[in-house]
Amino acid sequence: MSSQTTHSNHVNPVQNSTDSIITVSGFKPQVCYIGQEQTPVIIIDNFADELSTLLGIARQQAVFTKDDGSYYPGVRAPLPQRYAIEVINQVFQLIYDVYTVPHHLRIKPKILSFSLISQAPESLMPLQRLPHFDTPEPYYFAILHYLNEAPHGNTAFFRHKNTGFERVNEARMEHYFTSANAFLTENAKNTPEYFVQSDQHYDIYHQIEYQPNRLVIYPGNLLHSTLVNLHTDIDDDPNTGRLTANIFINFK
């Protein structure tokens, strides 16, 4: 693991607001190079100075509903735009630098949501029962902010054993899906459950521990999943559940 303690102060890409939900007075990002492909993952502990306003919005104002447009096994609510703007403005230059994003590409926010896992294992569809990637696009990133107190399930990254793939880009998609079909066919016959350990198809090669006020940034084409803790994570109460703020951005 290497540490990166500074980032450039370029002009913010998103119009900021003086009425902030969080304040960020300085942070020391760590850049981990994970797996055989040595993909950078950024971890920032103690990201915000305090979380009380953001947590109050999630717990008292946010309206959580099932996200029918995705395979997410839970409920989501819109993030406050002011919070999302502040997060993006704090980390965008770091993302440009760490991932060598071409500077002619500009940030396009895609999804901004609070998220809570709420789906019982027995109701999972086959595609919800294996590691996934968000998109094959090269400059699409997930920004994940853990909010509630631990313990909650870690975020894990997976290697597909038959192909050796840790990331799935456009060039790999057809080969990956052809190979992964064998797992889907086999897995569909089994009792539904969350994928929480290595097996003959996928290997967990790295985990990021759930810690409150930890911000994690990783490419959306990495194979990943939550290691769902059945005792603490299947909970749609924002006071106690595995509450995260999820920001997905693309550079186009």
* pLDDT given for residue 7 in this prediction: 38
Q: Which residues pair with 114 in a beta bridge?
A: 77, 245
> What pTM was computed for the model?
0.91
Strand segments (E) across the chain: 2-3, 30-34, 39-44, 65-66, 74-78, 107-117, 140-146, 155-160, 202-208, 215-219, 224-226, 244-251
Name the pLDDT band for 69 (thresholds 50, 70, 90).
confident
Name the pLDDT band for 237 (thresholds 50, 70, 90).
very high
The domains of the chain, with CATH numbers, are 2-251 (2.60.120)
Q: Is 89 left (phi over 0), alpha (psi -120 to 50) or beta?
A: alpha
Percent above pLDDT 70 for the chain: 92
In tens, the pLDDT along 151-161 reads 999 999 999 99
Q: How far apart are CA 115 and CA 66, in angstroms?
A: 10
Helices (H), 7-80: 52-60
Burial (0-12, 13-18, 19+ Cβ within 10 Å), 181: exposed
pLDDT reading at 13 higher than 60: no
Name the pLDDT band for 16 (thresholds 50, 70, 90).
very low
Name the pLDDT band for 6 (thresholds 50, 70, 90).
very low
pLDDT reading at 21 higher than 90: yes
Q: What is the mean pLDDT of residues 175-194?
A: 87
Percent above pLDDT 90 for the chain: 85
pLDDT reading at 185 higher than 90: no
Q: What is the mean pLDDT of residues 2-23?
A: 52
* pLDDT given for residue 104 in this prediction: 96
In tens, the pLDDT along 31-45 reads 999 999 999 999 999
For residue 70, give both structure tokens.
């995705």
* pLDDT given for residue 239 in this prediction: 98
* pLDDT given for residue 4 in this prediction: 38
In tens, the pLDDT along 98-137 reads 999 999 999 999 999 999 999 999 999 988 999 999 999 9
Q: How far apart are CA 41 and CA 221, in angstroms?
A: 12
